[in-house]
């Protein structure tokens, strides 16, 4: 492990796992050669949520943010153990704004795709960022609840990323799940940062092409949810295109929802 690695002093009580570097055949960037990117458990864990809860409480002390990690279908190697990741520094997030990223995404996806002629997908100008949520729940408590629920439903890999906040883990871990939507994961990190601040969102689980956020301050009216749905459509159009089929139907599911799940085709 290189001197100065953020994983030089791992928290105690971890299950068997390994610190992973980039695969230079997958991500040919010499600035990342030999640099530790993330720690991942060797196997799926039936008690992954218990580890997550303990590590989440200690994240400020350790400098490592925990993630429940999923894989591609039946292939438990991809993307984590196969090292299919393309990391970027936090500075690439700092220069972006959620409003700017979502506006550009909206302009690209608001028009109805040709293969979905029957879908009621919105067109027109970007409506702007939704107002913040007003729920007073503790974001960390809601995150703990989601992690517990996910852990009860199945086993997960456990991951640790040297990040100060969940939004940044996506970029620092080099997650390429949304590559068919954007090849720059820092754009999604910029949006999730904004959701952390406006809706009390927390990153809990990351899969091959999926993302699960806990939400402490979701929209509680349909009108507010419709504004949030526009952000989701720009962020992850497959949720609407291959899910509800219309922004209105999608928005109904956001009212009071304390979990936001995204999937990119």
**SS3 (DSSP) at 229:** helix
Q: Is the confidence at residue 123, as pLDDT, over 70?
A: no
On the CB side of 33, CA atoms within 13 Å amount to 6
Q: Is the confidence at residue 113, as pLDDT, over 70?
A: no
Report how far residue 65's alpha carbon sits from residue 86's, in angstroms, rounded to the nearest whole number.
18
Task: Please write the tens of the pLDDT for every residue from 194-245.
Answer: 999 999 999 999 999 999 999 999 999 999 999 999 999 999 999 998 877 7
Task: Please write the tens of the pLDDT for every residue from 222-231.
Answer: 999 999 999 9
CA distances to 13, 121, 144 from 57, in Å: 14, 41, 10
Report how far residue 92's alpha carbon sits from residue 78's, in angstroms, rounded to the nearest whole number.
25
Q: Of 39, 20, 158, 174, whose CA–CA distance to 82 is shortest?
A: 20
Q: Of 186, 159, 260, whose CA–CA distance to 217 is shortest?
A: 260
pTM metric for this prediction: 0.94
Report how far residue 128's alpha carbon sits from residue 125's, in angstroms, rounded to the nearest whole number.
9
Phi, psi of 124 (to 5 degrees): 105, -175
């Amino acid at each position: 492990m290189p001197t100065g690695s953020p994983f030089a002093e791992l928290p105690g009580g971890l299950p068997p796992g390994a610190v992973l570097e980039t695969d230079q055949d997958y991500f040919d960037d010499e600035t990342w050669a030999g640099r530790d990117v993330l720690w991942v458990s060797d196997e799926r864990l039936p008690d992954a949520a218990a580890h997550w809860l303990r590590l989440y409480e200690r994240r400020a002390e350790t400098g490592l943010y925990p993630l429940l990690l999923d894989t591609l279908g039946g292939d438990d190697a991809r993307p984590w153990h196969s090292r299919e990741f393309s990391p970027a520094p936090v500075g690439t997030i700092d220069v972006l704004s959620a409003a700017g990223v979502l506006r550009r995404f909206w302009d690209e996806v608001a028009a109805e795709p040709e293969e979905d002629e029957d879908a009621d997908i919105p067109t027109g100008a970007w409506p702007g960022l939704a107002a913040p949520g007003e729920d007073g729940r503790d974001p960390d408590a809601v995150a703990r609840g989601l992690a517990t629920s996910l852990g009860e439903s199945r086993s997960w890999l456990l991951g640790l990323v040297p990040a100060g906040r969940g939004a940044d883990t996506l970029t620092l871990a080099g997650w390429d799940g949304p590559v068919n939507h954007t090849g720059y994961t820092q754009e999604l990190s910029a949006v999730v940062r904004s959701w952390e601040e406006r809706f009390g969102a927390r990153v809990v689980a990351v899969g091959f092409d999926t993302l699960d956020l806990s939400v402490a301050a979701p929209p509680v009216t349909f009108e507010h949810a419709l504004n949030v749905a526009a952000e989701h459509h720009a962020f992850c159009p497959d949720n609407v295109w291959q899910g509800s089929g219309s922004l209105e139907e999608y928005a109904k599911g956001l009212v009071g929802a304390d979990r936001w799940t995204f999937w990119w085709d």
